[in-house]
Amino acid sequence: MDPKPTNLRDKKKEATAYALAEASFRLALERGMDGFIVEDVVRQAGYSRRTFANYFSCKEEAVAAYFIGSSSNEDAKLQFAGLPPDATPLDALYSLLKLQFTSEFLFKLRQFVSLANQYPTLEPYILNVLRRLQTAAQEVLEQFSQGRYADGYTHLLAGAVYGAFVPILDGRLNVLLPGESQDVRPDAISFDQYLNSMFAYLRNGF
């Protein structure tokens, strides 16, 4: 049986889910979580309420889904192709983070955290977004390491790194996101500085 139709169906499903999630996130930013309902989402995205229900249980889940699957494992594999033969999983993870956490993605993710601070119904979904990103990274790292490291190593590595992003996003650490001006917060360090210092700790010990 030709696998292409299934692949096309999967791509269509992904596109539908993303359109609904994007519309939900846009409405959340424009109106706040209390300012729109699911009918507004489907009207803006061009789908039916029944279609929405096939993908999401509520608008909060749809808003969070905007960030899930934002990075492609296939893109990650292409990124890893440029690493030297003696590259470690830590090198691979650094490369993957550079691919995932673009300035646009980080800015929108911080907007999401800000929304969650205003609307507690979103709070449970923040950890879900980071967990999904972490899980995707861990799976790619396992493929990259090909059994060369002990069981659990890639889990520990991905958990440590992705957990370090939470205090940036909620504002507890004074770190500028890519594209932010230091004129606003002159004592803040850049995102690249934070990323490099975090990986220096991981490479050299705390």
What are the C-alpha distances in Å from 108 to residues 2, 48, 69, 144? 39, 26, 14, 29
90-129 burial, b for 16+ CB within 10 Å, e for fewer? ebbbbbbbeebbeeebbebbbebbebbeeeeebeebbeeb
Residue-wise pLDDT for 144-154, tens only, equals 888 888 878 88
Q: What's the pLDDT score for residue 85?
A: 79
Distance CA 98, CA 107 (A): 14
Residue-wise pLDDT for 129-140, tens only, equals 888 888 888 888
**Statement: residue 6 has pLDDT above 50:** yes
Q: What's the pLDDT score for residue 29?
A: 94
- Amino acid letter at 25? F
The model's pTM is 0.72
- Amino acid letter at 190? S
Distance CA 64, CA 20 (A): 11
Answer yes or no: CATH 1.20.1630 is held by domain 4-65. Answer: no
Distance CA 88, CA 148 (A): 10
Closest C-alpha among 117, 130, 198, 205 to residue 163: 130
Residue-wise pLDDT for 14-39, tens only, equals 899 999 999 999 999 999 999 999 99
Instruction: Note whether 188 and 147 are within 8 A (CB).
Output: no
Residue-wise pLDDT for 172-191, tens only, equals 889 887 777 788 788 999 88
- Domain limits of the chain? 4-65, 73-204
Closest C-alpha among 76, 68, 77, 58 to residue 14: 68
Distance CA 45, CA 67 (A): 17
